[in-house]
């Protein structure tokens, strides 16, 4: 009996040990599973990816195949165009998509803590109508031979009574026709006094204003050749009969001017030289000078609260 009891005691002790071991193993398992999962989720690459294009200095956090590095950079929003591995003071490069022999010198497996330079392509800008957004200012000129390819003559009802033929780029001419028709629908007879002006015409326009006003004042009123938005073929100066078809700031206070200020945007036209932006644009207030930039940008411009000059400068900084 003694033997049996002793045996039973050791069996009980053994069961206890086994149960404890099992519990510990289970506990270890429970602890181990999230730890391993966390290790798997840790990013392969350390460093910031230039998702808007450019170079980034990255390092690997564990051993990885070059295909894993490619996948990690692409998952991070980088369209990889080059990976350079810094190794013993030299770089070995990898070009995604190139034939294998191009990348033959690049190791297929990378060690942990490898230093990489990754180049990401700049994504194409999601900006419509870039052809309508050239920046023309006192410091940004158009080439003397710049001219729109698709100039069309404006219809007689769009220009001053008895006025000379005026032309605009086709897209702007169509939007203008819609805008003037909508104005007529409100009982407003708005006419175009000046539209496309070639570089040569701007030479004589500028010389005329210099002769009349002197060089200092002429610069406020007229652009030097190459610096006029009228050379774009998307710009009009509009006039009304009650102001003698002249170009007057008073246009803004007339029913026609107020209608234009509220509605030009619907047709893609904006005032290039608004009131209060003289410092930015370098031009006096010109409520009659309307530039076609397309409906999308006309809306974005209003939301931005910027003058057109500032808007276009910011936009090209973004795009280029
Ligand atoms: Zn003008």
Q: What are the tens digits of pLDDT across the range 171-191?
A: 999 999 999 999 999 999 999
Please give the Cα distance from 148 to 252 (Å, whole number): 29
Greater pLDDT, 168 or 86: 168
Domain covering 130-319 in this structure, CATH number: 3.30.1380.10
- Does 229 participate in catalysis according to the annotation? no
- Is residue 57 over pLDDT 50? yes
Q: What percent of the chain has pLDDT over 70?
A: 86
Retrieve residue 130's tokens: 């870039």
- Is residue 97 over pLDDT 90? no
Q: How many CB atoms lie within 10 A of CB 318?
A: 10
- Domain assignments of the chain as residue spans, ordered by start: 45-120, 130-319
pLDDT score of 100: 87
Greater pLDDT, 231 or 163: 231
Q: Residues 229, 286, 318, 320: which is the catalytic one?
A: 286
Confidence band, pLDDT 50/70/90 cuts, at residue 317: confident
Query: What are the residues facing 153 on neighbouring strands?
Result: 167
One-character DSSP codes across the chain:
-HHHHHHHHHHHHHHHHHHHHHHHHHHHHHHHHHHHHHHHHS-SEES---TTSEEEEEEESS-EEHHHHHHHHHHTT--EEEEEEEETTEEEEE-TTS-GGGGTTS-SEE-TT-EEEEEEPPPPP--S-GGG-----SS----TT---TTEEEPPGGGB-TTPPP-EEEHHHHHHHHHHHHHHHHTT---EEEE----HHHHHHHHHHHHHHH-HHHHHHHSPPTT--GGGGT-EEEEE-GGGTT---GGGGGSHHHHHHHHHGGGGTEEESS-TT-HHHHSS---TTEEEE--HHHHHHHHHHT--HHHHHHHHHHHH-
What residues does the ion ligand 1 have nearby, CB within 5 Å?
237, 289
15-29, 68-82, 228-242: least confidently modelled range: 15-29
Average pLDDT, the chain: 87
CA of 290 relative to ligand 1 center, distance in Å: 7
Retrieve residue 155's tokens: 């219809």
Please give the Cα distance from 44 to 36 (Å, whole number): 15
Retrieve residue 5's tokens: 């009891």
Report pTM. Answer: 0.66
- Is residue 20 over pLDDT 60? no
Mean pLDDT of 269-296: 95
Please give the Cα distance from 248 to 286 (Å, whole number): 8
Please give the Cα distance from 150 to 114 (Å, whole number): 56
Query: 312's torsion region: left (phi>0), alpha (psi -120 to 50) or beta?
Result: alpha
55-69, 74-88, 250-264: least confidently modelled range: 74-88
Closest CA to 263 of 169, 157, 181: 181
CA of 289 relative to ligand 1 center, distance in Å: 4
Confidence band, pLDDT 50/70/90 cuts, at residue 132: very high
CA of 139 relative to ligand 1 center, distance in Å: 17
Q: What are the tens digits of pLDDT across the range 186-237?
A: 999 999 999 999 999 999 999 999 999 999 888 878 899 999 999 999 999 9
pLDDT score of 27: 46
pLDDT score of 180: 98
CA of 320 relative to ligand 1 center, distance in Å: 28
Confidence band, pLDDT 50/70/90 cuts, at residue 15: low
CA of 223 relative to ligand 1 center, distance in Å: 9
């Amino acid at each position: 009996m003694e033997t049996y009891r002793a045996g039973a005691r050791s069996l009980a002790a053994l069961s206890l040990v086994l149960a404890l071991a099992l519990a510990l193993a289970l506990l270890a398992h429970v602890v181990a599973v999230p730890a391993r999962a966390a290790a798997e989720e840790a990013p392969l690459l350390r460093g910031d990816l230039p998702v808007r294009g450019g170079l980034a200095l990255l390092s690997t956090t564990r051993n990885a195949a070059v295909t894993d590095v490619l996948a990690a950079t692409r998952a991070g929003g980088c369209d990889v165009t080059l990976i350079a591995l810094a190794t013993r003071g030299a770089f070995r490069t990898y070009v995604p998509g190139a034939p294998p022999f191009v990348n033959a010198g690049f190791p297929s497996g990378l060690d942990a803590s490898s230093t990489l330079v990754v180049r990401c392509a700049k994504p194409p800008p999601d900006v419509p109508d870039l052809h309508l957004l050239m920046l023309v200012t006192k410091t940004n000129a158009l080439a003397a031979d710049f001219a729109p390819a698709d100039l069309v003559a404006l219809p007689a009802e769009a220009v001053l009574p008895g006025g000379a033929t005026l032309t605009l780029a086709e897209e702007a001419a169509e939007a203008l026709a819609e805008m003037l028709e909508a104005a007529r629908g409100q009982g407003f007879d708005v006419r175009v006094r000046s539209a496309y002006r070639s570089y040569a015409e701007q030479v004589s326009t500028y010389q005329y204003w210099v002769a009349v006003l002197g060089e200092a004042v002429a610069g406020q009123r007229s652009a030097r050749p190459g610096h006029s938005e009228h050379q774009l073929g998307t710009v009009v100066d509009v006039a009304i009969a009650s102001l003698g078809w002249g170009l007057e700031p008073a246009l803004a206070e007339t029913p026609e001017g107020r209608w234009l200020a509220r509605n030009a945007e619907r047709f893609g036209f904006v005032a290039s030289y608004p009131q209060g932006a003289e410092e930015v644009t370098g031009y006096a207030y010109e409520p009659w000078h309307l530039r076609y930039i397309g409906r999308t940008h006309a809306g974005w411009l209003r939301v931005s609260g910027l003058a057109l000059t500032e808007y276009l400068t910011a936009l090209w900084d973004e795009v280029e």
